[in-house]
Amino acid sequence: MLAQLEKFYSQLRRIYTLGCIGALLDWDQKVTMPPEGGGDRAEQLELMSALSHQAMTDAAFLEVVDSLYEGRAALAPSDFVNVREMKRMLDRARCLPVDFVAHRSKVTTLCYQTWTEARAKDDWQAVAPQLEEIVSLCRQEAELIGYEEHPYDALLQGYEPGGKISQIKPLLERLGTSLAEIIPALREKFRSVPEVRGDYPEDLQSKFNLHLATACGYSLARGRLDPTHHPFQTSLGSRDIRITTHFYRNDYLSSVYSTLHEAGHALYEAGTLEKYKGTPMGMPVSLGIHESQSRLWENLIGRSKQFCRFMHATLKDYFPEEHRRITPEELWRMANKVTPSLIRIEADEVTYSLHVVIRLLLEEQLMTGKLAVKDLPDAWNNLYQKYLGIRPTDYKDGVMQDMHWYSGAIGYFPTYALGNLYGAMMLKVAERELPTLWSDVEQGKCTALLAWLRKNVHEPGMTYGGPELIKRISGQDLNEGPFLDYIKHKFAEI
């Protein structure tokens, strides 16, 4: 068995390295690549996807994994988890022919490039045919992988292992209904909030953001912060974990919360144990848990009164006029204004989950064929009218606003709302176990909270699935109650 384990980990290192190279090519495409480089980059990523898939589905490697899985009872705990999770991932990967994987990579790379150009021009017709091909490929993928209940499950489980739409849809719809009931009253309470106004140079915004992210634990010794069309985080290795954001010259808060969100993702990636690099024990549990970390730092911490006081004190070093113009209380109200809006990544934390519910409903219909891509803009607009009482007047702030579908990531969106629920349940326990948590946050000291998250969330890797992990932490099954309690308590005093 020792010889088999050596072969197992040797191949995992190769798979991990190939993945990091692919991630570097993807990061460069989204951050620094010249506009006309898309064709070559599509071919490069097509090759990397093929090589990665071939390494995953190599016959000798599959034989080793199957053999180790059969004898898993004799393995050490960390080896047991690594073999169990690789078996799960490989059972999925071996369903997909290498030609299919390579072709899908090329199609999604080209579509993303088209989307970046088409969105700037509000040109839906330019990208719709490529999105139609992506949806078709996603349907094919679901059939190749197989599912017990719904084709959407095959895609969802690529992001949230074990997740089923029959479980997640009712949970998120209950959450959406409860939030919709309180939005009108909260919206009224925030009518007199000061507006962000002024001119905030991007270089100063970047330095300000890094100051705040560093307070949370992010380090430039192992990362970067760069501008891009749609913010994201990526890991190019255990010591190269990069984040991106966007800048608006007249609104520094937008980039602050974008940066904190991506820094939360990065802190999770950096918090896994390096000795397990490239193995499931060194990987995030699921994207729902991943989003719990980004949403926790962005909202539960970043939009708290305590962090806003720290942020206000920091303003004087970067934007002194803004520091004089507003009080800490006004900054908190600016950061937490509740009002329905068109853009998901700009949404307040109360209305945010409604954006996710809308996308889940659309994805479900796309996967069953009930909704055609050509009808997607009207369906999108109708759901925004129904759930948020607003209607897009263009494509770029409507159906073209997110990069996910145009990158092939159908099934991803529910994890954002699940992250809200996971994060609230985690914070409730952390508050109980860390009595100085909020006084520390007010001083820009987040080391105790980060250490708590590393011990309870990051370091276990994929030892437990998301639902099991949250039950071990909180003693409860995943539910919307703690998040709703958090929202009601937070805004009760206004």
What pLDDT, on a 0 to 100 scale, did the predictor assign at position 419? 97
- Of 127-141, 186-200, 298-312, 356-370, the one with minimum mean pLDDT is 186-200
Domain that holds residue 428: 165-491
In order of 113, 210, 231, the CA distances from 31 in angstroms are 12, 18, 10
Residue 438 pLDDT exceeds 90: yes
Residue 230 pLDDT exceeds 90: no
Backbone angles phi, psi at 246, to 5 degrees: -125, 155
Angstrom distance (rounded) from CA 263 to CA 282: 18
State the CATH number of the domain containing residue 235: 1.10.1370.30
Length of the chain as a residue count: 494
* Sign for the pseudo-dihedral over CA of 355, 357, 363, 365: negative
One domain, residues 301 and 415: yes
Q: What is the DSSP letter of 55?
A: H
What are 10's two structure tokens?
A: 């040797």
Render pLDDT for 102-114 as a digit per residue (tens, 0 to 9). Answer: 999 999 999 999 9
One domain, residues 260 and 354: yes
Angstrom distance (rounded) from CA 65 to CA 245: 39
Angstrom distance (rounded) from CA 213 to CA 221: 13
Residue at 155 is within a domain: no
- Contacts of residue 150, defined as CB under 8 A and 6 or more positions apart, other chains included, come to 164, 165, 166, 364, 367, 368
Q: Hey, how many other C-beta atoms are within 10 angstroms of the C-beta on 182?
A: 15
- The count of domains in the chain is 2
One domain, residues 135 and 169: no
The mean pLDDT value of the chain amounts to 96
Angstrom distance (rounded) from CA 143 to CA 96: 10
- Contacts of residue 167, defined as CB under 8 A and 6 or more positions apart, other chains included, come to none
Residue at 96 is within a domain: yes
> If DSSP codes are grouped into helix, strand and coil, which group holds residue 362?
helix
What pLDDT, on a 0 to 100 scale, did the predictor assign at position 188? 86
One domain, residues 368 and 309: yes
Residue at 323 is within a domain: yes
CA-CA-CA-CA torsion for 236, 66, 149, 409, nearest 10 degrees?
10
pLDDT classification of 494: cutoffs 50, 70, 90: low
Residue at 431 is within a domain: yes
Provide the angle, in degrees to the nearest 10, between the axes of the packed helices 202-216 and 252-271: 40
Mean per-residue pLDDT, 164-176:
96
Q: Could you tell me which of 488, 470, 466, 362 has the C-alpha nearest to residue 413?
A: 362
Burial status of residue 274 (CB atoms within 10 A of its CB: 0-12, 13-18, 19 or more): exposed
One domain, residues 141 and 173: no
Residue 493 pLDDT exceeds 80: no
What pLDDT, on a 0 to 100 scale, did the predictor assign at position 88? 96
One domain, residues 39 and 142: yes
Percent of the chain with pLDDT over 70: 100
Q: Return the CA Rg of the chain.
A: 22
Mean per-residue pLDDT, 148-172:
96
Measure the N-to-C terminal CA separation of the chain; round to a whole number of Å. 63
- Which residue, 146, 176, 198, sits at the end of a domain? 146
Render pLDDT for 339-349 as a digit per residue (tens, 0 to 9). Answer: 999 999 889 99
Angstrom distance (rounded) from CA 443 to CA 89: 43
369: left (phi over 0), alpha (psi -120 to 50) or beta: left
Distant-in-sequence contacts of 270-275, Cβ < 8 A, 24+ apart: 270/219, 270/222, 270/238, 270/241, 271/450, 271/453, 271/454, 271/457, 271/458, 271/459, 272/238, 272/458, 272/459, 272/461, 273/459, 273/461, 274/238
Catalytic status, residue 160:
no
pLDDT classification of 187: cutoffs 50, 70, 90: confident
One domain, residues 67 and 27: yes
pLDDT classification of 192: cutoffs 50, 70, 90: confident
Which member of 262, 291, 364, 480 is catalytic? 262
One domain, residues 339 and 302: yes
Residue at 49 is within a domain: yes
- Of 108-117, 188-197, 259-268, 463-472, the one with minimum mean pLDDT is 188-197
Give me the amino acid identity at 357. Answer: V
Backbone angles phi, psi at 235, to 5 degrees: -110, 120
One domain, residues 87 and 176: no
Q: For the chain, give me the number of helices (H) and strands (E)?
A: 21, 3
- Contacts of residue 442, defined as CB under 8 A and 6 or more positions apart, other chains included, come to 306, 307, 309, 310
One domain, residues 140 and 171: no
Residue at 160 is within a domain: no
Answer yes or no: are the C-beta atoms of 386 and 365 closer than 8 Å: no
Angstrom distance (rounded) from CA 173 to CA 169: 6
Q: Could you tell me which of 294, 200, 213 has the C-alpha nearest to residue 247?
A: 200
Residue at 331 is within a domain: yes
What pLDDT, on a 0 to 100 scale, did the predictor assign at position 190? 86
One domain, residues 377 and 413: yes
What DSSP line would sit under 426-455, residue for residue? HHHHHHHH-TTHHHHHHTT--HHHHHHHII
Answer yes or no: are the C-beta atoms of 215 and 244 closer than 8 Å: no
One domain, residues 125 and 196: no
pLDDT classification of 300: cutoffs 50, 70, 90: very high
Residue at 153 is within a domain: no
Angstrom distance (rounded) from CA 244 to CA 224: 8
